[in-house]
Amino acid sequence: MKAIDWSNVGFGYMKTDYNVRCRYSNGKWGEIEVSSEETLNIHMAATCLHYGQEAFEGLKAFRGKDGKVRIFRLEANAERLQNTCEGILMPKVSVELFRQMVTKVVELNKDYIPPYESGASLYIRPLLIGISAQVGVHPANEYMFVIFVTPVGPYFKGGFSTNPYVIIREYDRSAPLGTGRYKVGGNYAASLKANQLAHEKGYSCEFYLDAKEKKYIDECGAANFIGIKDNTYVTPLSTSILPSITNRSLQQLAKDMGMKVEQRAIPEEELATFEEAGACGTAAVISPIERIDDLERGTSYVIAKDGKPGPVCTKLYNKLRAIQYGDDPDTYGWVTVLDI
């Protein structure tokens, strides 16, 4: 293994030593296999390739000051994957199989877990795909569940610093009764054009409005929206966004800090009233929002007036990171500790 410059890892793919795999056929999951291959050999008519029968997850492992490794909210990710499985007719992976495979792949690749001081982490990417051949639109009868890991740094430029975002009205990522609430690849395919547009215009990421009324904030490409005002944490209630586990965790931390939490529709115009705002997710953690522009309307909602992350987002960010790295106690049982 060659030396890694831990303080400069970005959010990208870096080869590690092993991945773990498990195959579903004849109505049951098989044995866990360890592989050092980076490729999958699958049938050209596999349902994941043609009909988007695929789901993924994203979680992280952190190396603490005490040398121990902590995996954040493993069970919650396993449960969300099960929910996605129901949504697109795939066999569920049990929480136990998920746990065994996640811990195994982290243990096998322990040399790739960034050191505490780097502020980086090990991103864990579970992937479930339909692999048997179908030409008619039907679910597969064979599946492959793979988990790989890769060391990652910040998802958005500059880590914990403010960035500009843009509402893209010409594209929808998901529909109210569609698959936005599931973590399936199709949602991300639907976001590529809007994301490219946002980047071309110099923004960090694109925001979507609800697809039906085009009135309410949904979420950004790969993270939920949170807004802070009057000691209240406000986040969208919508059937077309991914139920973010980071958001759920931050809501609890906000309550612990004596804040009110509201999960409700957020009209675009309300953006003007927030004292602070952020994009939150496993990859994004909290990315504080400088402003959100609606180019079509010619409106700019400037949130971080001094260009700096606000005190509430900073406190929430520090608290969440402290739990993840083991600096603060894990009072909610969010963390799986590995002594490796």
Round to whole Å and give the CA distance between 316 and 297.
32
* Nearest to ligand PLP of 181, 291 (CB atom): 181
Of 91 and 281, nearer to ligand COI (C-beta) is 281
* Sole binder of ligand PLP in the list 172, 219, 290, 294 (CB under 6 A): 219
Q: Which of 48, 69, 108, 245 contacts ligand PLP by CB under 6 A?
A: 245
Structure tokens at 288: 């504080």
Angle at 261 between CA 184 and CA 226, to 5 degrees: 50
Binding residues (CB under 6 A) for ligand COI: these are 58, 222, 281-283
According to the binding rule CB under 6 A, does residue 246 interact with ligand PLP? yes
Residues in contact with 290: Cβ distance below 8 Å, sequence separation at least 6, in sequence order: 162, 163, 164, 302, 303, 304, 307
> Could you tell me the two tokens for 175?
């529909």
User: Please, what is the minimum distance in Å from the beta carbon of residue 298 to ligand PLP?
Assistant: 27
Instruction: Output the smallest distance, CB 58 to ligand PLP, in A.
Output: 5
Pick the closer one to ligand PLP by CB: 82 or 247.
Answer: 247
Which residue is nearest to ligand COI, using beta carbons?
58
Type of residue numbered 152? V
In the chain, the amino acid numbered 205 is C
Sign of the Cα pseudo-torsion (27, 20, 247, 200, in order): negative
Among 20, 106, 198, 222, indicate the residue that binds ligand PLP (CB under 6 A): 222
- Which residues, numbered 2-61, are part of the site for ligand PLP (CB under 6 A)? 58
Amino acid sitting at position 146: V
Name the phi and psi angles at 163, rounded to 5.
Answer: -140, 155
- Kindly state the DSSP code that residue 273 receives in the 8-state scheme: G
Residue among 58 and 309 whose Cβ is closer to ligand PLP: 58
- The residues carrying an active-site annotation are 183
Binding region for ligand PLP (CB under 6 A): 58, 219, 222-224, 242, 244-247, 281-282
